[in-house]
Amino acid sequence: ITIIFSFWILFLYKKKVSKLQIACSISLLILNIYLYYQSFIVSGVSVNYQYFLTTFVIVSFWLIPDKVKVVIQDIFIKSFSILLVISLIEYIIFLFFSKGIVLGIVLRDDGQQFYHLLLSLVKTDNLIPRFQFLFDEPGKLGTLCAFLFYLTSDTKYRKQHIVFLIAGIISFSFAFYILM
C-alpha cells in the first residue's frame, strides 16, 4: 500500500519534482522494504505498519513544493508551542496543587506508573518531576525542543523560541542539555 501511495504521489507531482527527490524517495522505499523483509527473515516478526506510514509521510513531504513546506513548518511550530504552553500550565498546576483532569493511570510493562492528564503524562514516583508532554520519555521532548529551539532562533518565532527553551529545561533531558 505504501508503495502504491508513494508512486501515486510521484505521479501527481512528476512535473514539480526534481530527479534527486524522486531518487531519494525510491531509495527510501527500497530501504524500507528491505528492512521489513530482513526483520521478518531474521526474527520471524515483521516490523509494525507505522514504519511504512512514516515513510509515506516523509516521501510526501519531500515531494511537495518548498513554499508549502514553509507553511507546514510555520503551522507546526506555532501549534506545537501553543500545545506545549497549555500542557506546561496543566503540569505546573498538577505538580503544585494536585488538581487537574486525570484521564487515567498509565502503567508500563516495567512497572512505571503515570497520571494521564489532558496534555501531560506525570510520573507518580519521580524524585525530580520531569515534564514530558505526551511523549513516553522526557528525553524525546527535550531532543525535539532543542532542535526546535535552534530552528526558531529567527525573530519571527521569538515567543515559540522561549516556549521551547522552557519546555526543554523543565524536561531535565540530558539530550537537551547536550544539544544546547
Q: Which amino acid is at 180?
A: M
Separation of alpha carbons 146 and 180, rounded Å: 7
Burial class (CB in 10 A: 0-12, 13-18, 19+), 20: exposed
> Do 138 and 130 contact (CB within 8 A), yes or no?
yes
Count of residues making up the chain? 180
Whose CA is closest to 131, among 174, 87, 164? 87
pTM for the structure as a whole = 0.70
pLDDT tens track of the chain, all 180 residues?
Answer: 555 555 555 565 555 666 666 666 667 667 666 666 666 666 666 556 555 566 666 776 777 777 877 888 888 899 999 999 999 999 999 988 888 888 888 887 788 888 888 888 888 777 788 898 888 888 999 999 999 999 888 778 999 999 999 999 999 999 999 999
